Structure 1
Amino acid sequence: MKKIIYLFSFFSFFLLSAQEQQASISIDKAEFSVNDVVTITVSNIDPTLWNAGQPNNIYIWAWYFDLNGSQAGDSPTNGSWNDSNALQKLTNNGNGTYGFTFTPSALFGTTDISKISFLLKADDGASTGSGEKKTQNNFLSLAINELTLTAPSDYLTVVDSGTLINFSATSTLTSDFTLKANGTPVNTANGTKNYNFDYTLTSDVDFVLEANDGSRTISESFRARLTPTNPVPSGMLDGVNLDSNDNTKATLVLYAPNKSTVHVIGNFNNWQENASFKMNKDTARDKFWIELTGLTPNTNHMYQYLVDSTIKVADPYSTTILDEFNDSSINATTYPNLPSYPTGSTNHAVTLLRTGDPDYSWQTTNFQPPAKTDLVIYELLIRDFDELHSFDAIKARLDYIQDLGANAIEFMPVNEFDGNKSWGYNPSFHMALDKYYGTPTAFKQFIDECHNRGIAVILDVVYNHATGQNPFYRLWNTDNGGYGGQASVDNPFFNQTATHSYSVFNDFNHQSEATKSYVERTVKYWIEEYKIDGFRWDLTKGFTQLCTSSDENCTNEFKKDRVDVLKEYADYQWAMDSDFYIIFEHLGGIDEEKQWADYRANEGKGIMLWNNINGSYNEATMGYHVNNQSNFSNVSYSVKGFDGPSAVSYMESHDEQRLMYKNLQFGNSNGGYSVKTANTALARMQTAGAFFFTVPGPKMIWQFGELGYEVDIDFNGRTGEKPIRWEYVTNPDRKAIYDVWARLIHLKLTQPIFNTTNFSMDLGGTNGLKSIHLTLDSATGNDIKYITVLGNFGVTQQSITTNFQEGGTWYDLMDETGNTTINGSTTSLSLASGEFKVFGNNPSTLSVNSFENDLNIQVYPNPASTSFQVNTSLEKVSIYNITGKLVNSYKGNFKKGHAFNISNLPKGVYILKAENDKKEKDTIKLVKL
């Protein structure tokens, strides 16, 4: 019984194997196309295994792949798997082989065929329990026609009119050729694999060469353009030039050496290359230009440059760009009526062009910027200062900044940068305002209000580099106009690799005249359009061409080319505004920095330098003094090595860790006194301010430092968003820093002694005791002639030597009542840990802000320099100095907004008394700068 079962099992396995056969296949053509007749021959097959003795019952089952390589369908005459169509039956050749003849296009009903697959089967191919009745799958690839254009060799050919252009091409299959010019056939050649034709070019033409092999048509396209030659009209600048006499016109100018043609595409021509918008070429100057006509005033026109028919870029000198990726994240409160990006019509940045818009009407036209030595700069990142992240939001907070006493605001970069939520040091368009912060009008209104309040506006500008979005980078790079790669060797603006060791993004070559023109063109715009008062130039160390990215020593050494080009840029800025603030973030050697500090200083100019004193101030606030580590004497411009107030000193900036963060994390302690305790650390920030603002020379505050902001610089990533903590204003211990700093700043700005050059400092030692002594040699009358600042940065109570400059009564200038005095013969004082004192040999009315307000008058600007105005009509105005002496009086019928001249008054604090025709009176403090 066991033997019988075994034999049955073996027989069943043999039948199963016999159902699926491995046939041999041959074809009569080594190469065939979709319309060729093809015969396949099948051998090594036995149909009787499928059909019980029927030797002629073999059918083909076929399917195909399209030209994209995807399986597309079966032969429509296959029939069904259980009942093959008779049209698919193979012929018995009588010699043990079978044949099937077909034309691919007929078999499948299409010419979209790249590959044929088939198998052989019985009429009924279904399984009978012993396997399906079929062979293996077989594959046949068709010969696909390929067209190779050998001339012209470039996609774009630019020649003079009348030039003969040769077109030559080959096809892999015999074809009929047709050459079309702007859609019209101009030449044909049939039944050949080689095409050749000469065409005389007399106009711009888009060519298409087609090759038809009988089954399909393939093509190659290319363009020919006439050389555009025409000089740029006189007076035209690079970028957009509006016509002051006709707001339906604008002239565009693009500098593009080694480029052949440029077309303007936009919403006025459906974003298509159009011969009517082909730009003229000034060959001698490598510039393209066009006068656009028929523009509609007060309308959002949008455009790009299509360069050599391949690369689309926005205007490098755009003043507003539209961004396909980021604009949707800008809300209507920040930027009302922001035009929509033309999605689906183009890609990459787009330039917004408007004509006929009225010029902004500036309300403050007589602003006098503070003297450099009086500068108290408030560095501000709009994104992290107010949740609305807009110019309007910052304008609404100007009272906060003004009451602190800051007389300049330095914005981190506001020109167009990649993304929205950025620090701004990734610039893409140097002349466009980034829309994430608001409209150009909102920015002008902000500046106007700052000037009204006596506050200068300084912009942080980044000319060391640009991102991949910059049009001048994209036009010449190794990424075929993309955002990656590196600058190509012919790029007139950018270095292929950085020539200094601090490079990010794409490095400008500042020895190139093209780069210099770009910088000066964009600088001119910000000064003239927005009345900006100064620039802080980021990373000036990168402006040399003499180093490599791996040689930091070279980068930090004196580099004459860097000195010369930055002086050249300074001259350009001063030519437009003789009082313009120029500040370099160089943080380098004194030899090079002094070159700039001294440059034209005898004319009242000179360049200022960022002066980072973060480390030593933080050592002092933390309470560490070993090895002189808390000696911050370099806060003084004279100690640093400058002859005048050229050092913009700061305890914090956006690049440094917060003092309070390190106070709380690493502060020193002694017994029950610990700097790590919040209130203790905050109190020590008051003392730091006393030894900061009292040192003559310009100063800078990084936003919220005046509230003891303590968030880690690396919170949410170095450049990531930081918490906005306006609730700190309601915290008495934090607000105390603000109040103390405000009193110190107002003291600095109202007392001439803080402009003295006669001062000494004792800021070293190992015990944390520090002192500053100032003397105003020219003091007269009630002027403060001497100031002594004493402080204990230690963590224990200590006595400090006073070294008062003279005897007599000294006044505690930080006492709001003015009642606290000390005898100048006192030789020492006991100071608690973190305590400070500021003494003067005369009192100050620093703390007097306003008096009785019957009229509720408002004086603006206040502080004022040459004149002030009042918000109501008056009949009488009197001005008294702090001793009560009448120094100016005005009588008459003064309307609201009348300008009262005070140019005769020296700097100081005054009492203004006003009276209207109803005999209502008011008194208020007036500060003269």
Structure 2
Amino acid sequence: MKLKSIFILFFLISGSLLSGQVTTEPALPVVSREVKILYDATQGTAGLKDYTGDVYAHTGVITDQSTSGSDWKYAPDWGDNSAKYKMTRIEDNLYELMISPDILGYYGVAEGEKVIKMAFVFRSGAYKPGTTQYLEGKATGGTDIFVDVYEADLAVGITYPSDNAVIPKNTQVSLSAASTVSSQLSIFLEGSLLKQAEGTVISVDYTFSEGGMYSMVAVAESEGKTATDTVLFMVKDDVIVETKPATYRKGINYLSETSAALVLWAPHKEFVFVLGDFNDWKVSNEFQMKKDGDYFWLEIDGLTPGQPYVFQYYIDSKIYLADPYAEQTSDPLDIWIPTSSYPELIPYPEGKARGIASVLETGQTPYAWEVEDFTPPPVDQLVIYEVLVRDFTVSRTYRAVTEKLDYLKELNVNVIELMPVNEFEGNESWGYNPSFYFAPDKYYGPRNDLKKLIDEAHKRGMAVVIDMVLNHSMGQSSLARMYLDESTWSPSSENPWYNTTHNFQNSQAQWGYDFNHESPHTRALVDSINSFWMNEYKVDGFRFDFTKGFSNTPYGSSDPWGSAYDAARIANLKRMADEVWKRNEDAIVIFEHLSDNTEEKELAEYGILLWGKMSDEFGEAAKGNTADLRRTLHTSRNWNVPHLVGYMESHDEERMVYKILQSGGSDGAYNTRQLPVALDR
């Protein structure tokens, strides 16, 4: 696709298309007047559809004092069941809320502050059974609901279609607009007058026979004053069916210094547009992806080498999605990443992207590895140091960890285990809430800083393994969001990668959305992730988190942590390990498994290293108490191979020195509760 320069004149006043989810009376709410909010619970995420309990509006406003389009002002605490927020049920699934005496008074807006939008999330008055979460009604895609607010002067807003809407060909639609005061209203399409009427509302039925970009203008005239509103929308051409080149892989494919191909695997989806910096985030038939079976693909050229572009997929006019295979994301929370950690980070396109987006960049300079090939230490000689980049240094960056490598070398560490470094939800986290598997988390710095850290570790003879969380991912993952049952906020039955429900009855063993490790699509994804990190970042292996979850076997109250021998789980884990070793026969494979010994013994003797929790025993010994440390030896567990990773501390069992200082023993002048002694021990 050849990029074109698009010169578009548009007005900032625009109506909000909510697909009937929220309507108002009057159609254009005026800041100084009363307004009725009507909420259809069957629309949007439909999280409150057929709910029979009390429903409340969590509502606030976006003002000229908001720092962003999502910075609510004058909102109550979440869960406030005050009478002013209670919705009145008009009929099944239809509710109303009076904003009275006017918008300013209802919200308590400060004098002189300008209201731009009202913001809503509708919720149940009580928690969902067995949880501390409410049922929620949001806009399609799980976003907040916004309603434009107008001043008392003459204003006009187009109520259908919305800006950047996608309309099918050969289907009758009603083009409509409304004004704040009675006036002469006109609707123009591509400069031609379609209809004029007197009053506060106007509509005209129209059928589009040709695809393309259209401009609609609404004009209101009253007492010598004129107001206008303009939207640009797309009438969708038929999807082009064309075989994608065999060399194109899922995700971003760089073709040249100025071109790239995007490939999205999306079964059950009908059409996909690409929106981004390269087309001013406008829906265009030129950027509608071609279809090849379950694949959608598009070639883009005219790109500037070395310039990052933020983009999203827009799927079936419902979902805005980052590429799940992207190596860099753009997130609204990026604003909180210090420039000292990540210089020249491309800004998030506020007001254009919806949710997390992805980044592509042609003409990147490849990292120059100083150590091309590295062989990790033998598995029976590993001294492993677990590192949380966020807390290991004050700077909280990959660069800062690199500067401390000599310190770790002095401790005789020969393996650095990085707690999860792929993108996780939020900026500050342990990282066991993953969202994107191919993108290093930006809070720690640029991706080449991570490569430098690994390269420098290899120069010192230290291997690097990374924590990889493949039991589950969180809701921001594009893999989850692409097929989400928004009425239950769980994966739909069409999702190729996830189970619709957790196989653990124990709620403490349920995190995020549960991967279906029996699915061939999940297995292919897992192998792609592991292969990517070994090839692109030269990691020497993985510590896989909660591997007891790599099964669909139901676990009830009799085995709440799934510790019993599970042949299906063993087969899944051996298969994954084989694929890792197929790519690097020396790769270190560690499981946080903690199952019954029969299963651990089988996995250990297959070549896998198993975490062995010994924190309590080592803690007692450090305090000066008697402790049995024999289970640190593999022979104590009847294993025939030294594949036990006995650990004194981990992210779950930490703060040993603190415990010594609190309750350590003493013998005369020798007191373990003194800091130098505790550190020495």
TM more than 0.5: yes
Equivalence for 1:590: 597
2:579 counterpart of 1:572? yes
Please report how far the alpha carbon of residue 210 of structure 1 lies from its aligned counterpart in structure 2 after TM superposition: 10
2:369 counterpart of 1:362? yes
Equivalence for 1:319: 327
| Structure 2 contact 497–521 (Cα < 8 Å) conserved | yes
Q: Look up the equivalent residue of 1:610 and give its one-letter code.
A: W
Looking at structure 2, the residues matched to 197 and 304 of structure 1 have their Cα atoms a distance apart, in angstroms, of: 32
2:423 counterpart of 1:413? no
| Structure 1 contact 207–223 (Cα < 8 Å) conserved | no
Normalised to the residue count of structure 1, the TM-score between the two structures is: 0.50
Please report how far the alpha carbon of residue 453 of structure 1 lies from its aligned counterpart in structure 2 after TM superposition: 1.3
Higher deviation after alignment, 589-598 or 383-392:
589-598
Q: Give the direction of change, closer, same or farther, for the CA distance of 1:386–1:671 in structure 2 (3 Å limit).
A: closer
Equivalence for 1:229: 241
Looking at structure 2, the residues matched to 70 and 439 of structure 1 have their Cα atoms a distance apart, in angstroms, of: 45
CA RMSD of aligned residues (A): 4.2
Question: Equivalent residue of 1:664, what SS?
Answer: helix
Higher RCO (C-alpha 8 Å, min separation 6): 2
2:622 counterpart of 1:621? yes
Deviations for 1:237-294, whole angstroms, at most 9, x for unmatched residues? 1111112xx2211111112222221111111111111111111112x2x121111111
Q: Give the direction of change, closer, same or farther, for the CA distance of 1:555–1:303 in structure 2 (3 Å limit).
A: same
Equivalence for 2:282: 272
| Structure 1 contact 264–279 (Cα < 8 Å) conserved | yes
Q: Give the direction of change, closer, same or farther, for the CA distance of 1:549–1:432 in structure 2 (3 Å limit).
A: farther
Please report how far the alpha carbon of residue 157 of structure 1 lies from its aligned counterpart in structure 2 after TM superposition: 7.2
Looking at structure 2, the residues matched to 66 and 224 of structure 1 have their Cα atoms a distance apart, in angstroms, of: 28
Looking at structure 1, the residues matched to 609 and 561 of structure 2 have their Cα atoms a distance apart, in angstroms, of: 23
Q: Give the direction of change, closer, same or farther, for the CA distance of 1:312–1:198 in structure 2 (3 Å limit).
A: closer
Q: Look up the equivalent residue of 2:29 and give its one-letter code.
A: N
| Structure 2 contact 467–542 (Cα < 8 Å) conserved | yes
Looking at structure 1, the residues matched to 630 and 603 of structure 2 have their Cα atoms a distance apart, in angstroms, of: 22
Equivalence for 2:484: 477
Task: Map 1:608-647 onto structure 2 (within 5 A).
Answer: 608-625=609-626, 630-647=627-644
Q: Look up the equivalent residue of 2:654 and give its one-letter code.
A: Q
| Structure 1 contact 330–435 (Cα < 8 Å) conserved | no
Q: Give the direction of change, closer, same or farther, for the CA distance of 1:341–1:291 in structure 2 (3 Å limit).
A: same
Task: Map 1:422-461 onto structure 2 (within 5 A).
Answer: 422-461=429-468
- For structure 2, list consecutive stretches of 5 or more residues without a partner in the other structure: 1-24, 35-98, 101-157, 178-183
| Structure 1 contact 321–351 (Cα < 8 Å) conserved | yes
Equivalence for 2:298: 290
Q: 1:533 aligns with which of 540, 544, 567?
A: 540
Equivalence for 2:29: 68
Please report how far the alpha carbon of residue 673 of structure 1 lies from its aligned counterpart in structure 2 after TM superposition: 6.1
Task: Map 1:663-742 onto structure 2 (within 5 A).
Answer: 663-668=660-665, 675-678=672-675, 682=678, 708=679, 734=680
Please report how far the alpha carbon of residue 655 of structure 1 lies from its aligned counterpart in structure 2 after TM superposition: 0.9
Deviations for 1:327-357, whole angstroms, at most 9, x for unmatched residues? 443223x222222222333332222211112
Q: Look up the equivalent residue of 2:475 and give its one-letter code.
A: G
Looking at structure 2, the residues matched to 228 and 560 of structure 1 have their Cα atoms a distance apart, in angstroms, of: 46
Looking at structure 1, the residues matched to 614 and 578 of structure 2 have their Cα atoms a distance apart, in angstroms, of: 29
Please report how far the alpha carbon of residue 583 of structure 1 lies from its aligned counterpart in structure 2 after TM superposition: 0.7
Equivalence for 1:779: none
Q: 2:350 aligns with which of 333, 337, 343?
A: 343
Q: Look up the equivalent residue of 1:259 and give its one-letter code.
A: K
Looking at structure 2, the residues matched to 321 and 164 of structure 1 have their Cα atoms a distance apart, in angstroms, of: 37
Q: Give the direction of change, closer, same or farther, for the CA distance of 1:184–1:486 in structure 2 (3 Å limit).
A: farther
| Structure 1 contact 535–581 (Cα < 8 Å) conserved | yes
Q: Look up the equivalent residue of 2:489 and give its one-letter code.
A: G
Q: Give the direction of change, closer, same or farther, for the CA distance of 1:169–1:550 in structure 2 (3 Å limit).
A: farther
Please report how far the alpha carbon of residue 225 of structure 1 lies from its aligned counterpart in structure 2 after TM superposition: 4.7
Q: Give the direction of change, closer, same or farther, for the CA distance of 1:179–1:309 in structure 2 (3 Å limit).
A: farther
Equivalence for 2:8: none
Question: Equivalent residue of 2:651, what SS?
Answer: coil
Equivalence for 2:260: 250
Please report how far the alpha carbon of residue 71 of structure 1 lies from its aligned counterpart in structure 2 after TM superposition: 5.1
Q: Give the direction of change, closer, same or farther, for the CA distance of 1:580–1:460 in structure 2 (3 Å limit).
A: same
Q: Give the direction of change, closer, same or farther, for the CA distance of 1:636–1:273 in structure 2 (3 Å limit).
A: same
Question: Equivalent residue of 1:522, what SS?
Answer: helix
2:340 counterpart of 1:379? no
Q: Look up the equivalent residue of 2:250 and give its one-letter code.
A: D
Q: Give the direction of change, closer, same or farther, for the CA distance of 1:167–1:550 in structure 2 (3 Å limit).
A: farther
2:563 counterpart of 1:556? yes
| Structure 1 contact 265–277 (Cα < 8 Å) conserved | yes
2:650 counterpart of 1:653? yes
Identity among equivalent pairs (%): 35
Q: Look up the equivalent residue of 2:634 and give its one-letter code.
A: Y
Q: Look up the equivalent residue of 1:256 and give its one-letter code.
A: A
Task: Map 1:83-232 onto structure 2 (within 5 A).
Answer: 165=171, 203=211, 224-232=236-244
Looking at structure 2, the residues matched to 218 and 248 of structure 1 have their Cα atoms a distance apart, in angstroms, of: 37
| Structure 2 contact 234–284 (Cα < 8 Å) conserved | no
| Structure 1 contact 253–288 (Cα < 8 Å) conserved | yes
Please report how far the alpha carbon of residue 392 of structure 1 lies from its aligned counterpart in structure 2 after TM superposition: 1.7
Q: Give the direction of change, closer, same or farther, for the CA distance of 1:616–1:314 in structure 2 (3 Å limit).
A: same
Please report how far the alpha carbon of residue 650 of structure 1 lies from its aligned counterpart in structure 2 after TM superposition: 0.8
Looking at structure 1, the residues matched to 196 and 520 of structure 2 have their Cα atoms a distance apart, in angstroms, of: 50
Looking at structure 1, the residues matched to 553 and 574 of structure 2 have their Cα atoms a distance apart, in angstroms, of: 17
Q: Look up the equivalent residue of 1:371 and give its one-letter code.
A: P
Looking at structure 2, the residues matched to 179 and 395 of structure 1 have their Cα atoms a distance apart, in angstroms, of: 63
Q: Look up the equivalent residue of 2:616 and give its one-letter code.
A: G
Q: Give the direction of change, closer, same or farther, for the CA distance of 1:167–1:672 in structure 2 (3 Å limit).
A: closer
Q: Look up the equivalent residue of 1:511 and give its one-letter code.
A: E
| Structure 1 contact 618–659 (Cα < 8 Å) conserved | yes
2:250 counterpart of 1:238? yes
Q: Look up the equivalent residue of 2:621 and give its one-letter code.
A: A
Q: Look up the equivalent residue of 2:608 and give its one-letter code.
A: I
Q: How many residues are matched? A: 523
Normalised to the residue count of structure 2, the TM-score between the two structures is: 0.68
Question: Equivalent residue of 1:417, what SS?
Answer: coil
| Structure 1 contact 205–223 (Cα < 8 Å) conserved | yes
| Structure 1 contact 381–411 (Cα < 8 Å) conserved | yes
| Structure 2 contact 334–348 (Cα < 8 Å) conserved | no
Q: Look up the equivalent residue of 1:369 and give its one-letter code.
A: P
| Structure 1 contact 252–290 (Cα < 8 Å) conserved | yes
Looking at structure 2, the residues matched to 418 and 549 of structure 1 have their Cα atoms a distance apart, in angstroms, of: 29
Q: Give the direction of change, closer, same or farther, for the CA distance of 1:489–1:551 in structure 2 (3 Å limit).
A: farther
Please report how far the alpha carbon of residue 400 of structure 1 lies from its aligned counterpart in structure 2 after TM superposition: 1.0
